[in-house]
Amino acid sequence: MKWITRERPKIDRLACPWLIRRFIDEEAEFIFAPLPQIREKALELEAVPFDIPDVEFTHYEDRCTFDYFLRKYNLKDPALQTMAPIVRGADTDDHSLASQASGLWAISAGLAYNIKDDHELLEKGMLLYDALYSWAKHLQQEKHTQSPTEQLLLQVFHRYIRQKKGAGKKVPAWAEGLREVIQDQIDTNLTLSLKEISEGLNVHPAYVSRAFSKYFDNLSFGEYIRKLRIEKAIHLLHTSAYSLSEIAYLTGFSDQSHFTRTFKKHTGKSPSAYKKSLPKGKDGSKG
């Protein structure tokens, strides 16, 4: 089947051909032409026009042509549904629809700037949308940085390092920032490095280590982290049906024996004894 659209494609006119070839007609042929010539050429070549005004395959309501193809052909693939607002946001300049929309627009505009032949541009666009589809289908939960520490450092930097030193403040900005970062992230299986965080805060780790206890319950950095982990473990013992080994993992302990030793030191009981002491029905179990 032949399809025809405007020359110099960027977003919809690359996304739609990709969608057609991958999910509708892998042998589809695409023709690019100046807008005033499209209707005449469509009749001459028996091609279906798309992404131009007053044809079936075009924008509708607040949606773009990519959305119309999804609806027309009843394509329910969740990955395609994830891609739809990205394509729509890039195509309509409404980048609030998806955080990836501005990136898609930037890359697409750059491709069109670098590649002057529309059919070569389409072939490169096929690779682009193959990659976006793979991300949407398999990789949405993946992060570029395997350790979240780098992101934490950036958060602290942007929120606190650029602040002017507040006169008369009892608690320094780095301490407030560090407290918030730790508290925000304690629900994850996270190992925080005092050295890395200190470098991100632009404060010498030796100073942070010495001053830490003044602002964190008279505890050292390691003691404070363990305290929060134990508090999280107690919460899970009360509210979930997780096994002790699962709770150890979820609260960031290297193994269950390490978890047991630390828990007993903080509570006077082993996790199993603590769990047995809970009122019946309060440990997250059914019954």
In contact, 256 and 248? CB cutoff 8 Å: yes
Question: Whole domain around residue 231: which residue ranges?
Answer: 218-287
d(CA 173, CA 175): 5
Reading the block at residue 156, the tokens are: 């602290």
The pLDDT tens digits of the residues spanning 221-263 come to 778 878 888 988 898 898 888 888 888 877 877 667 878 888 9
C-alpha to C-alpha distances, 101 to 139, 168, 269, nearest whole angstrom: 17, 44, 52
According to the model, what pLDDT value does residue 167 have? 46
The answer on 23 and 98 residing in a single domain is: yes
Distance (Å, rounded) from C-alpha 35 to C-alpha 108? Answer: 20
- Final residue of a structural domain among 173, 198, 216: 216
Q: Do 228 and 184 fall into the same domain?
A: no
- Pair (17, 111) in one structural domain: yes
One domain, residues 51 and 105: yes
Q: Say what the pLDDT of residue 225 is.
A: 78
Domains in the chain: how many in total?
3
Query: Which domain CATH number covers 243?
Result: 1.10.10.60
- 107 and 173 both lie in a single domain: no
Residue 181's pLDDT is what? 60
From first to last of the 287 residues of the chain, give the pLDDT tens digit: 999 999 999 999 999 999 999 999 999 999 999 999 999 999 999 999 999 999 999 999 999 999 999 999 999 999 999 999 999 999 999 988 898 999 999 999 999 999 999 999 999 999 999 999 999 999 887 765 544 444 554 455 455 444 544 445 566 666 766 666 655 555 444 455 666 666 666 667 777 777 778 877 788 777 887 888 898 889 889 888 888 888 887 787 766 787 888 899 889 999 999 999 988 654 544 44
3-state secondary structure 152-215: HHHHHHHHHHCCCCCCCCCCCHHHHHHHHHHHHHCCCCCCCCHHHHHHHHCCCHHHHHHHHHHH
Whether residues 161 and 240 share a domain: the answer is no
Task: Say if residue 60 is in the same domain as residue 23.
Answer: yes
The last residue of one of the domains, among 92, 117, 139, is 139
Nearest to 241 by CA among 202, 281, 214, 273: 281
Tell me the helix, strand and coil percentages in the chain, rounded to 5: 60, 5, 35
Do residues 15 and 69 share a domain? yes
pLDDT score, position 219: 82
Residues 224 and 211 in one domain: no
User: Domain ends where: 102, 121, 139?
Assistant: 139
pLDDT tens digits, 77-99 = 999 999 999 999 999 999 888 98
